[in-house]
Amino acid sequence: MSRLAGRLAEGLADLQSRDLKRARRVIDSPQGAWVSEGGRALANFSSNDYLGLANHARLRAAAHRAIDEHGVGAGASPLVSGNLAAHDAAERRFAQFSGLPRALLFGSGYAANLGILAALAGRDAHIFSDELNHACLIDGARLSRAQVTRFPHGDLDALAALMRESRAQVRVVASDAVFSMDGDIAPVPGLLALCEAHDAWLVLDDAHGMGVLGATGRGTLEHFGLGSPRIIYMATLGKALGGYGAFVAGAPELIEWLVQRARTYIYSTALPPMCAMVAIAALDLLDADRELLASLRSRIAEFTAACAEGGIATLPSATAIHPIVIGDAHATLEAAAWLHQRGFLVPAIRPPTVAEGTSRLRVSLSAAHTRVEVQALVAALVERLAA
Ligand SMILES: *Cc1c(COP(=O)(O)O)cnc(C)c1O
């Protein structure tokens, strides 16, 4: 083994010894409330497919149609010739959907957040980032070369004090709207008020809120009844909407600036047109089938009530994400393995995704689950965990 490969082997052995080595499963079915692994059926509480759309017949049909009409690849970056009618239609639809003036499609949520922060904030900027933000907001802030200050999770007083001190030309507050590993909702009205008071942009990552929160599933802005030209709203098409890609919505000047300056937009092949058409079909379905949201909300209420009754301590969450913090990485892995043996797929989330000592089972609920499936999971959790 070469010296460099030897270093990697040591690093891997170290991860293994600390129970931090990740192993991928191979799922041999489509994504859904039930999946198959090695031919064995598992009740799936691990996906972000919150509305059960990843393998929905209407979306599959939309994908087939899109391939027939638009082909499989965009063939170029959007500023060259890859911006097809499918992308244009989806951008108009997402602007309408989010209640903001303009929208722009990106290859993924990860690419969108890197692109936004690096395009908006340069060396003369100051980014304020919630300490529990998703990795791509953290990486986007780093890439921007702005001064970056992490503020304590959801702490508006601490953020206000930090913003008062800042003398930067450009200020940006960045926050997950729904936190991906805790499932809690950011104090968005308070964040927006601070951005107004201190003339700052507010970047909101609604990866886990869109399609879940708000009376019609439009997400965290609908949940709070908010809109503002300061808001830079990002959501992925890969979670509740069941497909792949992402969009950013906001003020016309903002979107035009991203078209001119967001490097992950400019220097990357445009999204396959099928992804744009599948996203439109998902929005159509969300509006046409009110049962989807109602079912997800019933499952959330049933899970929360059954956990409380069974003595399972969950973090408070009105979203589809329900963490059960165990603490120790090894104990969390063992609990996940025990559940897996009984036919439940629930991921063990460990550092560095979450802080040391807060390893957890992360239950995610879907409109595609039934009440009986949710109750069976809670019964298993009670058997394993309740003191
Ligand atoms: C999943 C996720 C992303 C990344 O979105 P992709 O489209 O999967 O790249 C960004 N932010 C948060 C909070 C996420 O959970």
Distance of CA 138 from the midpoint of ligand 1 (Å): 12
Residue closest by Cα to atom 8 of ligand 1: 109
Do 89 and 205 sit in the same domain of this protein? yes
3-state secondary structure of 323: strand
Distance of CA 137 from the midpoint of ligand 1 (Å): 9
| Among candidate residues 287, 320, 337, the one where a domain is terminated | 287
Query: Which residues form the pocket of ligand 1, taking CB atoms under 6 Å from any ligand atom?
Result: 108-110, 134, 136, 176, 180, 205, 207-208, 236, 238, 246
Do 70 and 122 sit in the same domain of this protein? yes
Residue closest by Cα to atom 14 of ligand 1: 207
Q: Which residues of 175-199 are buried (b: 16+ CB within 10 A; e: fewer)?
A: bbbbbbbbbbbbbbeebbebbeebe
Best residue among 110, 129, 138, 212 to mutate for probing ligand 1's pocket (most ligand atoms within 8 Å of CB) is: 110
Do 191 and 304 sit in the same domain of this protein? no
Secondary structure element (H or E) that encloses residue 326, with its range: strand 321-327
**Calpha distance 64→60 (Å, rounded):** 6
Secondary structure element (H or E) that encloses residue 232, with its range: strand 231-236
Quick check: is 229 in a domain?
yes
Quick check: is 13 in a domain?
no
Per DSSP, the residues of 57-122 read HHHHHHHHHHHHHH-S---S-IIIII--HHHHHHHHHHHHHHTSSEEEEES-HHHHHHHHHHHH--
Best residue among 184, 239, 319 to mutate for probing ligand 1's pocket (most ligand atoms within 8 Å of CB) is: 239
CATH of the domain at 32: 3.90.1150.10
- Is it the case that residue 34 has pLDDT exceeding 90? yes
Residues identified as active-site: 180, 208, 239
Quick check: is 184 in a domain?
yes
Quick check: is 153 in a domain?
yes
Give the least confident one: 21-30, 245-254, 266-275, 368-377. 21-30
**Calpha distance 175→156 (Å, rounded):** 12
Do 193 and 307 sit in the same domain of this protein? no
> Could you tell me the pTM of the whole model?
0.96
Residue 350: per-residue pLDDT: 93
| Among candidate residues 265, 287, 309, the one where a domain is terminated | 287
Output the six-digit token pair for 49.
Answer: 């497919």
Give the pLDDT mean for 345-369: 96
Domain of residue 219: give its range: 57-287
**Calpha distance 248→165 (Å, rounded):** 29
Do 92 and 216 sit in the same domain of this protein? yes
Q: Which residues of 239-269 are buried (b: 16+ CB within 10 A; e: fewer)?
A: bbbbbbbbbbbbbeebbeebbeebebbbebe
Distance of CA 58 from the midpoint of ligand 1 (Å): 24
The answer to whether 176 and 134 are in contact (CB under 8 A) is yes
Do 62 and 77 sit in the same domain of this protein? yes
Instruction: Report the atom number in ligand 1 closest to the C-alpha of 237.
Output: 7
For 50-101, write each residue's pLDDT tens digit: 999 999 999 999 999 999 999 999 999 999 999 999 999 999 999 999 999 9
Quick check: is 241 in a domain?
yes
Per DSSP, the residues of 153-204 read TT-HHHHHHHHHH---SEEEEEEESB-TTT-PBP-HHHHHHHHHHTTEEEEE
Do 142 and 240 sit in the same domain of this protein? yes
Quick check: is 337 in a domain?
yes
| Average pLDDT value over all residues in the chain | 97
Give the pLDDT mean for 335-356: 96
Do 163 and 274 sit in the same domain of this protein? yes
Instruction: Report the atom number in ligand 1 closest to the C-alpha of 176.
Output: 13
**Calpha distance 219→74 (Å, rounded):** 29
Q: Is 283 exposed, middle or buried (0-12, 13-18, 19+ CB in 10 A)?
A: buried
To which residue do tokens 């890609």 refer?
245
The answer to whether 52 and 368 are in contact (CB under 8 A) is yes
Do 228 and 240 sit in the same domain of this protein? yes
CATH of the domain at 246: 3.40.640.10
Share of the chain above pLDDT 70, in %: 100
Residue closest by Cα to atom 6 of ligand 1: 109
Distance of CA 8 from the midpoint of ligand 1 (Å): 27
**Calpha distance 302→305 (Å, rounded):** 5
The distance from CA 69 to its chain's CA centroid, rounded to whole angstroms, is 30
- Give the HSE-up count for residue 96: Cα atoms under 13 Å, Cβ half-sphere: 10
Instruction: Report the atom number in ligand 1 closest to the C-alpha of 110.
Output: 9
For 1-17, write each residue's pLDDT tens digit: 899 999 999 999 999 99
219: left (phi over 0), alpha (psi -120 to 50) or beta: left
| Among candidate residues 254, 287, 320, the one where a domain is terminated | 287
Do 45 and 104 sit in the same domain of this protein? no
Give the pLDDT mean for 311-329: 94
Residue 1: per-residue pLDDT: 86
Output the six-digit token pair for 256.
Answer: 């035009």
Do 314 and 238 sit in the same domain of this protein? no
Distance of CA 234 from the midpoint of ligand 1 (Å): 9
The 8-class DSSP code of residue 377 comes to H
**Calpha distance 350→233 (Å, rounded):** 28
Contacts with 214 (C-beta within 8 Å, 6 or more apart), sequence order: 220, 221, 222, 223
214: left (phi over 0), alpha (psi -120 to 50) or beta: left
Residue 369: per-residue pLDDT: 98
Quick check: is 261 in a domain?
yes
Do 327 and 348 sit in the same domain of this protein? yes
Nearest alpha carbon to residue 350 among 341, 339, 358: 358
- Is it the case that residue 387 has pLDDT exceeding 80? no
Quick check: is 75 in a domain?
yes
Give the pLDDT mean for 117-130: 97
Q: How many domains are there within the chain?
A: 2
Residue 315: per-residue pLDDT: 87
